[in-house]
């Protein structure tokens, strides 16, 4: 298959999604996705907040401008509170070869 002619049945094809920025519901959904994704990666409240206040992160920054700081801070606090108890049991173990092992995935 040539590079200029992507296969429409290929599940790895990059697909863009348009988000309506005039709808605060769409902005809330977008912010929720960003918060959940980065909270799962281990970001704490302060680090999540910096993600939204940094203009270099266009999506989170747009959500902050659309919803306001109070709403974003409340959403961050809720996600961190919910994930805290899950994260407390997650342990990363370093192996002798310098790789990591995540027992939670086994």
Inter-residue contact 47 to 83 (CB < 8 Å): no
pLDDT interval class at 4 (50, 70, 90): low
The residue behind tokens 């902005």 is: 27
Over the stretch 51-103, which tens digit does the pLDDT of each residue have? 999 999 999 999 999 999 999 999 999 988 877 655 555 556 677 777 777 66
Inter-residue contact 53 to 12 (CB < 8 Å): no
Inter-residue contact 6 to 13 (CB < 8 Å): yes
pTM value is 0.62
């Amino acid at each position: 298959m040539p590079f200029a002619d992507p296969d429409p049945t290929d599940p790895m094809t990059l697909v863009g999604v348009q988000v309506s920025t005039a709808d605060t519901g769409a902005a809330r959904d977008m912010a929720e996705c960003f918060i959940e994704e980065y909270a799962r990666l281990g970001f704490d409240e302060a680090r999540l907040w910096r993600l939204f206040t940094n203009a270099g992160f266009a999506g989170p920054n747009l959500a902050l401008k659309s919803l306001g700081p109070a709403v974003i801070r409340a959403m961050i606090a809720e996600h961190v509170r919910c994930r805290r108890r899950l994260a407390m049991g997650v342990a990363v173990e370093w192996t002798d070869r310098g790789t990591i092992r995540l027992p939670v995935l086994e």
